[in-house]
Amino acid sequence: MMRRLVILTIAVLTALPAVAQEETATLRLACKADNPALEAGPFAFSIDEKRGEATETVSGKSYGVMSYRDGFGLYDPAGGRSALVFRIDRVSGHFARVDKQIKVEGMCEKVERKF
């Protein structure tokens, strides 16, 4: 009985870092356009670079993720990698929406999970 409890405790403790690491693999960004008249509102992205998926959390729209050395490209999965929608710079936080005729630019900030 005691042996089972010890084994169960060890199994749970070894699994906890994996769960915590999985949570930190998701990057959360809050982005705001420099000119709010060109875009309806701010964007909030949840980017999972390992899985190559991103979600715009306000609208629920899903994007594919391309990783560059210095940033990310978010594309429409229906159109493939050539249908780039957003570019986000890792270093400066600068973002640009490039899928429309009028290019919308702004800044992104990293956001920590509240709960």
> pLDDT (tens digit, 9 = 90+) per residue, 51-95?
999 999 888 999 999 998 889 999 999 999 899 999 999 889 999
Q: How many domains does the chain have?
A: 1
Counting every residue, how long is the chain? 115
The pTM score is: 0.72
Residue 3 lies in a domain: no
Residue 14 lies in a domain: no
- Domain of 95? 26-110
In this predicted structure, what is the pLDDT of residue 63? 96
Residue 10 lies in a domain: no
Residue 18 lies in a domain: no
Distance of CA 77 to CAs 10, 74, 101, Å?
41, 9, 20
Burial class (CB in 10 A: 0-12, 13-18, 19+), 40: exposed
Confidence grade of residue 41 (pLDDT, cut at 50, 70, 90): confident
Phi then psi dihedrals of residue 5, to 5 deg: -65, -45
Q: 21 vs 97, which has greater pLDDT?
A: 97
Residue 19 lies in a domain: no
In this predicted structure, what is the pLDDT of residue 8? 45
Q: 38 vs 13, which has greater pLDDT?
A: 38
In this predicted structure, what is the pLDDT of residue 103? 85
Among 7-16, 23-32, 72-81, 98-107, the minimum mean pLDDT is found in 7-16
Residue 11 lies in a domain: no
Residue 2 lies in a domain: no
In this predicted structure, what is the pLDDT of residue 65? 95
Residue 72 lies in a domain: yes
Confidence grade of residue 12 (pLDDT, cut at 50, 70, 90): very low
